[in-house]
Amino acid sequence: MLKVGLLGAGRIGQVHAVNIAGHTGSTLAAVSDVHEAAAAQLAGQFGAQARSSEEILADSSIDAVLIATSTDTHSDLIEAAAAAGKAILCEKPVDLSLQRARACQAATSDAKAPIMIGFNRRFDPNFAALQQAAQSGEIGKAELLSVTSFDPAPPPVSYIEVSGGLFRDMMIHDFDMANFIMGEAPASIAATASAIVDPAIGAAGDVDTAVATLTYADGRIAVIKNSRRAVYGYDQRVELLGSEGLLSAANVLENTVSKSTVAGVTSAKPEHFFLERYMRAYAAEWDAFVGAVANVTEVPVTLADGVTALAMAEAATEAAKTGAPVTLAE
Amino acid sequence: MLKVGLLGAGRIGQVHAVNIAGHTGSTLAAVSDVHEAAAAQLAGQFGAQARSSEEILADSSIDAVLIATSTDTHSDLIEAAAAAGKAILCEKPVDLSLQRARACQAATSDAKAPIMIGFNRRFDPNFAALQQAAQSGEIGKAELLSVTSFDPAPPPVSYIEVSGGLFRDMMIHDFDMANFIMGEAPASIAATASAIVDPAIGAAGDVDTAVATLTYADGRIAVIKNSRRAVYGYDQRVELLGSEGLLSAANVLENTVSKSTVAGVTSAKPEHFFLERYMRAYAAEWDAFVGAVANVTEVPVTLADGVTALAMAEAATEAAKTGAPVTLAE
Amino acid sequence: MLKVGLLGAGRIGQVHAVNIAGHTGSTLAAVSDVHEAAAAQLAGQFGAQARSSEEILADSSIDAVLIATSTDTHSDLIEAAAAAGKAILCEKPVDLSLQRARACQAATSDAKAPIMIGFNRRFDPNFAALQQAAQSGEIGKAELLSVTSFDPAPPPVSYIEVSGGLFRDMMIHDFDMANFIMGEAPASIAATASAIVDPAIGAAGDVDTAVATLTYADGRIAVIKNSRRAVYGYDQRVELLGSEGLLSAANVLENTVSKSTVAGVTSAKPEHFFLERYMRAYAAEWDAFVGAVANVTEVPVTLADGVTALAMAEAATEAAKTGAPVTLAE
Amino acid sequence: MLKVGLLGAGRIGQVHAVNIAGHTGSTLAAVSDVHEAAAAQLAGQFGAQARSSEEILADSSIDAVLIATSTDTHSDLIEAAAAAGKAILCEKPVDLSLQRARACQAATSDAKAPIMIGFNRRFDPNFAALQQAAQSGEIGKAELLSVTSFDPAPPPVSYIEVSGGLFRDMMIHDFDMANFIMGEAPASIAATASAIVDPAIGAAGDVDTAVATLTYADGRIAVIKNSRRAVYGYDQRVELLGSEGLLSAANVLENTVSKSTVAGVTSAKPEHFFLERYMRAYAAEWDAFVGAVANVTEVPVTLADGVTALAMAEAATEAAKTGAPVTLAE
């Protein structure tokens, strides 16, 4: 039974708390948060203790920590938790700075306990099934990947300003998805982007609509489309053309009801945003982490995976500015 | 915060335990089971106590009980828990005997705490959305209801023999669904049935494939189709034709992946059986119960609803034997 | 090259004219109609001659006739055309009177040229594919058939009054569909019906909403649902549960466009009515007829098939009145 | 009644012949082909005359010609027919040489009768409905267009060698589709491509898998994906994200039957190739042409449209070679 300390009791921390407590192989032992009241309330619901992060890391009875704090603390907490010998599941991204992320990777390179990055979408049952089918050769050799990833609405410009930009903040998920499905990083990335959804986003130096084209050493191609606004909900689809067929993962709809009237046939919208769409993914992610710790198997998403996705985001940011493809370092 | 005793730690009890513990308005205080080890294990996972049913009912700090024991104990436990002043959520059916169910209803008629019957399908997000849309008049006046309800595979004949027969054991859910959507019980029921899936079921005196036709006082019609075997999974669909349109609730699929090859386009199957399909329904059911207790609102599924569905099952059993429609008593 | 005389230049006659002329194995030689101008115009478009029905039947150079005149002339024209040695494709129904239809069958029993009845739905590519898959054993042994058949809007009451009633006028198609898919006529038919769409239909002695349950000698069951009104379009679906799976034929939509907005995801409606939905079926029907004549193969829909469907309509009409199932004569 | 001469009696000419003859506003008067027997047979089926192209152009009773001959004759025949005063519907492309196409455009610039280019996909009911909905503002302002266009199988390398390359031969359709939906040509085009389907295509100097990214002056973006091989059939989809929603045109399937078994739920494949998928488009295209001639309205696809699409193909060919975006001349 894995004893877990949860660092961060915000919205995503609450999702993780239910999964930790509801899993037959883990218990929620302690919760920390910069807002002590939030930690206390969440801990109370599950019979856990509210403590500081430092106390949790110092407690040798705690086996693992789930880091769900703000992005700027991730690298430091990963390093501290690794030094304390904890198994780690850290929310993405590792860091907004590629340099800092690489330093974190170097600093933890000989950690004995597993370190896993929470690219939750890999655990979405739909994308996981697609990846599994592709890997099993069900459509032969992969040739052309398409990832559609639209948010329901843009975040406030105040968030945009500190987000690192669309490629680091949003498309980073899709870069990891491409790596997950294609099995490797691409050779180069080209990108086109504009601020067409909201001029204020452009004024803040960012874009809100973007297309990246990834080319692989063997001629495979991947296309990623991002928009900060899809008024009908969170649009999260993946499609892979192979030599023997096509795999498609469609959206998850709010329900299966359709209404046929003189106006047409109306179905439900996609699940509204990531908390709804990826609820099952978070549970599966936690299950994978518990399994990796228990069985000392390879972790399914490594710190290196997190660094690679960040490097791709940086390359795409540059490519969108220059118009020319950017070659990725080995 | 509702303190809950769970009676029954079997498969369905375990599902309820997660929902009770994960709900912000309830805590799992105690668990009982005829197998003490099962109660102990489930209680342990959630920091609850393993106790006997009698102890739980006698404990005045327990506000509510969830009855998830075997069917033959339901009526007795409902009466005992009501006498102890507990709020009650009891798994369906109330009883296999209509007479006993009516006696239970009479014996608890002046219970002050709410008594709710667990017709879980009413809380399925799809059927609930369909019912809500119908009630809101989105398709005008209802005219023709169709309920498709196929199990993935027949139960063992040993189960069939004590089940009360297809209409009491299986179609009772669909009778309640019809009542839920049509807003009242029908005037009469006709039925056709046969044992075509497995002759052994016929030899045991039961049927495995059945169609019931319900007619309402105002001319509306409902059709219910049951089969004990749909090899592709649990087939649970509802369709309502109204004067201004059609509402359909389709199956929930295991995932949204489709594979296109020379052999066609293959999608995932429906969720395999009730635990998968109705996982969200059980959580919503519990939420509705907590809300009914907290807000002293009307309970969404009453003991009377349970008795009505059982009376319909009895009528359909007779109608299938004689071929002639059976009129339901007021 | 089959030389064809078309009897009837109305709406459905015009559909047939295009198919006759566009088929590489047939030419449209002559057209007749009680409205001579209509015959002249249609003949003109395809370089055919406008003549009387008598002239067409008397012309030995005409190989085949397509009878698309009013229902009350069908039996007489079938007999006359058979006597003249023509191959015959006659629109359904054979007659509204079962007695007259049987007399027509008897009178033409030794006709040498093929006589085919235009139950067009058998040639719908969707229903034909379903029937073919069922026949090939793709879902094992058939157990439970469901036919949904709703018209977009009720016809005028003046039509209802001379239609023979819903079972003879509308459900007769679905009876033939059941025979087509189940491979034989049922042993008995039960039915429930009401006039809930329009009380004026009830006042005219007919019903507008009906459910028929067909039971087969071996325990198989079929359910047919009819409504005179589905405001969203022509609803034509078939579903067959078998021991190894389920076959479903869904509606054909006007187009494949869907629109996702804050209001939901809206798709196109089903094709509006039979001329749109069964356009491809009429072409395939004609192709099957030409093939049957050319290859002297068995005709795919015989006069006997037309008589059987009519007998079922008569039985259902009676069953709906009495509530009791009606046994079909062998 | 438009009297029409059909130049070319090959596969696509035969499709056009049925549409010309079946249209109430046109008759097929004459057919020519380099293979005289082919012209004679097709003419015979519809009561038309087999003649040479020269005779058809010289016959003043012929109002219009449909040019369905080989690509290398298009420009010459357009010029000759325009000089003869015929209304013209010419299969695309105008020419493989942008220079020659521009010369043809210049030479016919003061033709009085309409000249229309057969970009058939604009008349596909699905794409036409999508474009109409977009134009009507149903999803607000367009932002991001995606065109998926995969052929079922690559053509022989001998064809590839004379095709002008993937961008001129295949993606030219999609460039026109983008122009149709976005309402203007893009400002620049970037492209990535490889020969991953078949190395022999690469050896012939062409590619078989390609992605083009189109950027518009106002920040809109379009992505076009092409593959020469989708083993499951002709994959033809369009998707447009706008400020108020998403429009999607899905594939047209061979039928609406699905089969649910233990192996999953299998539906029909997309229509196999262009003759099946665009059968309705060809009829609608002809109807639009007849309407344009009769009503002297603007033709829906002009010779200039054909030249623009060709210029885009040329730009994309260059962009794929250099990796850098190519700016389109005004």
A254 vs B contacts (CB less than 8 Å): 125
Q: How many CB atoms lie within 10 A of CB D172?
A: 23
A131, pLDDT greater than 90:
yes
Same domain for D58 and D128? no
**Structural tokens at position B193:** 């049935």
Query: Residue C200's domain spans which residues?
Result: 123-281+308-327
* CB-based contacts of C99, cutoff 8 Å, min separation 6: none
The residues of chain B scoring below 70 in pLDDT are 330
Q: Is B53 helix (H, G, I), strand (E, B) or coil?
A: helix
Q: Are residues A133 and A233 in the same domain?
A: yes
Contact by Cβ (8 Å): A147, A173: no
For chain C, the straight-line distance linking the first and the last C-alpha, in angstroms and rounded, comes to 40
Neighbours of chain C (3+ CB pairs under 8 A): A, B, D
Say if B144 is an interface residue toward chain C (CB within 8 Å).
Answer: yes
Q: What are residue B208's DSSP bridge partners?
A: none
User: Between chains, do D232 and B262 touch, taking CB under 8 Å as contact?
Assistant: yes
Domain CATH for D316:
3.30.360.10
Do A270 and A253 meet the contact criterion of CB atoms below 8 Å apart?
Answer: yes
Residue to test with chain D: of C255, C279, C280, most D Cβ within 10 A: C255
Q: How far is C233 from chain A (nearest CA, A)?
A: 8
Taking an 8 Å cut-off on Cβ atoms, the answer to whether D256 and C252 are in contact is: yes
**According to the model, what pLDDT value does residue A330 have?**
62
Last residue of a domain, one of C93, C113, C133: C113
CA-nearest residue to A20 within chain B is B22
Determine which helix (DSSP H) or strand (DSSP E) holds C276, and give its type and residue range: helix C274-277
Considering the domain architecture, whether residues D190 and D246 belong to the same structural domain is answered as yes
Please tell me the predicted confidence (pLDDT) of residue B330: 62
- Using CA coordinates, name the residue in chain B closest to A257: B249
Specify if B283 maps to a domain: no
Q: Which two tokens stand for residue B134?
A: 């119908």
pLDDT one-digit tens code per residue, C38-51: 999 999 888 899 99
Task: Check whether residue D80 and residue D209 sit in a common domain.
Answer: no
- Which CATH number goes with the domain that contains D62? 3.40.50.720
Is some CB atom of chain C closer than 8 A to the CB atom of A256?
Answer: no
* Residues C130, D257: C-beta atoms closer than 8 Å: yes
- Going by C-alpha positions, the residue among D249, D145, D197, D205 that lies closest to residue A241 is D197
The predicted pLDDT at position D1 comes to: 87
Q: Are residues C243 and C102 in the same domain?
A: no
C26 pairs with which residues across the strands?
C2
**Closest listed residue to residue D230, CA positions, set B262, A63, C79, C267:** B262
Q: Is the pLDDT of residue A253 over 70?
A: yes
List the single best residue of D229, D237, D253, D260 to mutate versus B (max B Cβ within 10 A): D260
According to the model, what pLDDT value does residue B47 have?
Answer: 82
Q: Report pLDDT for D330.
A: 63
Q: What is the mean pLDDT of residues A146-156?
A: 98
C287 within domain boundaries? no
Q: Distance, in angstroms, between A281 CA and closest chain D CA?
A: 22
In a shared domain, residues D95 and D129 = no
DSSP string, B92-107: SPS-S-HHHHHHHHHH
Give the one of B21, B24, B244 whose C-beta lies nearest to A261's C-beta: B244
Q: Return the half-sphere exposure (C-beta side, CA atoms, 13 A cut-off) of residue C255.
A: 23
Structure tokens that stand for A90 in this block:
């850290």
Which stretches in chain D have pLDDT values below 70?
330
Is D101 among the domain residues? yes
In the Cβ-directed half-sphere of C87, how many Cα atoms lie within 13 Å? 22
Mutate to test the interface with B, among A24, A46, A256 (most CBs of B within 10 A): A256
* Among candidate residues D216, D175, D217, the one with its CA nearest the CA of residue D310: D175
Q: What is the mean pLDDT of chain A?
A: 96
- Which helix H or strand E contains B66, and what residues bound it? strand B64-67
Confidence of residue C330 (pLDDT cuts 50, 70, 90): low
Percent of chain A with pLDDT over 90: 95
Give residue A295's pLDDT.
Answer: 83
Judged against a pLDDT cut of 70, whether residue C16 lies above it is answered with: yes
Least CB-CB distance to B192: which of C146, C215, C230? C215
In a domain, A293, yes or no: no
Question: Is D136 in the C-facing interface, judged by CB distances under 8 Å?
Answer: no
User: A4 near A62, Cβ under 8 Å?
Assistant: yes
Contact B133 A259 (CB under 8 A): yes
Pairing relation of β-strands B209-215 and B188-194? antiparallel
Name residues whose C-beta falls within 8 Å of residue D303's C-beta, 6 or more positions apart in sequence: D78, D94, D104, D105, D108, D115, D117
Do A12 and A42 contact (CB within 8 A), yes or no? no
Residue B54 domain flag: yes
**D188 and D46 assigned to the same domain:** no
Measured over all CA atoms, what is the biggest interatomic distance in chain C, rounded to whole angstroms? Answer: 66
Tens digits of residue pLDDT in C127-147: 999 999 999 999 999 999 999
Confidence of residue A22 (pLDDT cuts 50, 70, 90): confident
Q: Classify residue C118: in a domain, yes or no.
A: no
Element (DSSP H or E) covering residue A191 = strand A188-194
Mention every residue, 6+ apart, whose C-beta is less than 8 A from residue C209.
Answer: B143, B144, B219, B221, C193, C194, C195, C196, C197, C226, C227, C228
B·D CB contacts under 8 A: 50
The verdict on A263 touching C (C-beta cutoff 8 Å) is yes
| Predicted structure pTM score | 0.96
Domain match, A80 and A194 both: no
- From chain B, pick out residues whose CB is under 8 angstroms from the CB of C235: 246
Q: Are residues C159 and C241 in the same domain?
A: yes
- Within this chain, do residues C128 and C259 fall inside the same structural domain, yes or no? yes
Examine the domain organization and report whether A203 and A59 are in the same domain: no
Point out the domain boundary residue: C113, C140, C164.
C113
Supply the DSSP string of A125-176, one letter for each residue: HHHHHHHHHHHTTTTSSEEEEEEEEE-SSPPPHHHHHHTT-HHHHTHHHHHH
Contact yes or no for D247 and C258 at CB 8 A: yes
Residue-level pLDDT at D22:
85
Tell me whether residue C267 is in a domain.
Answer: yes
List C-alpha distances in Å: C261 to A26, A248, A305, B105, B165: 41, 22, 35, 48, 47
Percentage above 70 pLDDT, chain C: 100
Tell me which of C113, C136, C169 is where a domain ends: C113
In chain B, the number of structural domains is: 2
Please tell me the distance in Å from A99's CA to the nearest CA on chain D. 28
Residues D139, D81 share a domain: no
What's the token pair of residue C294? 């050319």
For residue D53, tell me if it sits in a domain.
Answer: yes
